[in-house]
Amino acid sequence: MKKILLSIAAFLFVFNAQAANPKYVIQVSTDDARTQKIVLNNAANLQKHYGADKVVVEIVAYGPGLGILTSDNKNASRVEKMAMNNITFSACQNTMNGIKKKKGQFPKLTDGVSITPSGVVRIGELQQQGYSYIRP
């Protein structure tokens, strides 16, 4: 009986910890500048609403959307600042491989961006971990 009560208590502790820190994954798969700006604004608004240390936000970029995470993008400095403010940015390795095959080199990513093997798979994994999915 004691083990059951401890298991229930542990579950409630984990459940309450997750409820206290909402988690969001935001997809960017378009090179449309307006949509990319909305993605960054959504992430900033989530932090503003909950508090930067009380929400988990990850932006996953793949396909044409990968450009938002490159150093030559007009949003590069904003992405870098947001990465330093607890927003995770994940670039799709599959997309980067395609760019290298086409252009002969990998795109240069903005500081603070990490690489995930597959953007689509990353989004699915995060949803399975309880992240809310946003696609502007």
When pLDDT is averaged across residues 64-79 and rounded to a whole number, the result is 96
3-state secondary structure of 25: strand
Answer whether 91's CB lies under 8 Å from 116's CB. yes
What is the pTM for the complete model shown? Answer: 0.85
Answer whether 111's CB lies under 8 Å from 73's CB. no
Q: How far is residue 21 CA from its own chain's centroid?
A: 15
The two structure tokens encoding residue 1: 């009986």
14-63: per-residue pLDDT in tens? Answer: 554 455 699 999 999 999 999 999 999 999 999 999 999 999 999 999 99
When pLDDT is averaged across residues 118-134 and rounded to a whole number, the result is 98
